[in-house]
Amino acid sequence: MAIAWDRPEEYDHLTVVADDDQLHRQSIRERLQAVRGRARAEAIGSYPRFRVIEASDGEEALQLVTPEVSVLAIDLVMPRRNGLDVIEVLRERRPDLAVLAFTAGAHPSEAVAAMMAGADHFLEYVGGEAIEHALELAIDRRRLSRLIERSEADVDEARERLARLGGSLALGPPGLRPPLSADTVIPFYEAARRYLTACARLFDGDPKGLAQRLGVSYSALRRLLKRYDVPFPGRSWKSASGKRQTGSPALRVLDTLLAESVKLFGGNRQNGPASSAIRRQEQDNMAGLADKFAVNLKSERLRKKLSQEALAAKAGLSVSYISMLERGQRTPPLDTLESLAKALSVSATSLLS
């Protein structure tokens, strides 16, 4: 029984159904023409979602898929030209076309072949049931695929435009990018130093993570960074000469804490049970300091209404490192403490007190 649509002339998708079996085509047409339109239902009332055009063979399907057609449902086994050939031709011609491939009693290899040819979904056809749902899946997958393709194209264009700005931007992480011209080629030592410096900043306080990402051992990482004069991540609070820097407020705060520890333990490093107890006490104190810092860091971040991502960006750190600090799994090096205090607009002492 025909449905009384408010606007029967309207539709969301002009659809070609290609099948050499007339009964199959008729069954599919009836099921699709009973599906309600969605895109403009609130504005114009009820209307069919699909307007169906029938094709009885592959050559006719190729002719009927005009620019106005947005969906193709095609049987893989047809005369004159089989479904796989039609899908390959149309995918090349129409990247935006949603394609549902179907056939009866299909072998799994046919489904794989259809998807490789360019179909968005495959249905083992048995009497027409589930054809509407399968067609909707094909439409959704084609829409998402196009969205991803456009996004990737936008990213590639943005990278090219960024690289054209010149200089060191083209050599930034996550990898060494190829130079755009002979003028932009720089000595290998400098290129490697810039790259390793950027990587060390991303893994500040996590040298083992950096070694793992670079695929080298911890000791090899030390030698590599030393060769290219790159500060070791988490150790940048030492100068090139190896002496501790004491100019910043954060450094003075922790130097004071170290001095208090020396007073507490008297500077003794004797062996035996007493020294073991002292070391355990020192470890407990450091763990307590990390826990206190974790609580203060998270409190200040939430008070400033900052996400971990926003704080990481302001402080020049990785999000995973911020997360580890807030869980008390890391004790920050001195320059990191100062960077976090500056990002939160607080004093370094307030993060430790």
Residue 308 bridge partners (DSSP): none
User: According to the model, what pLDDT value does residue 16 have?
Assistant: 96
**Rounded to whole angstroms, how far apart are CA atoms 80 and 113?**
19
Name the amino acid, one letter, at 165. Answer: L
Packing angle, helices 334-344 and 308-315, rounded to 10: 120
Q: Where are the domains of the chain?
A: 13-146, 170-227, 249-352
Which fold does the domain 249-352 belong to in CATH?
A: 434 Repressor (Amino-terminal Domain) (1.10.260)
Residue 124, Ramachandran bin (φ over 0: left; ψ between -120 and 50: alpha; else beta): beta
Which CA distances in Å does 317 have to 93, 193, 297? 46, 19, 14
Q: Which has the minimum average pLDDT: 85-89, 243-247, 304-308?
A: 243-247
| CATH, domain 13-146, list 1.20.1050.10, 3.30.450.20, 3.40.50.970, 3.40.50.2300 | 3.40.50.2300
Q: Dump pLDDT digits (tens) for 100-155.
A: 999 887 677 778 888 888 999 998 877 656 889 999 999 999 998 888 888 877 77
Which CA distances in Å does 291 have to 210, 310, 324, 335? 24, 22, 11, 19
User: According to the model, what pLDDT value does residue 139 have?
Assistant: 94
Q: What's the pTM value of the predicted model, to 2 decimals?
A: 0.46
Contact 333, 205 (CB under 8 A): yes
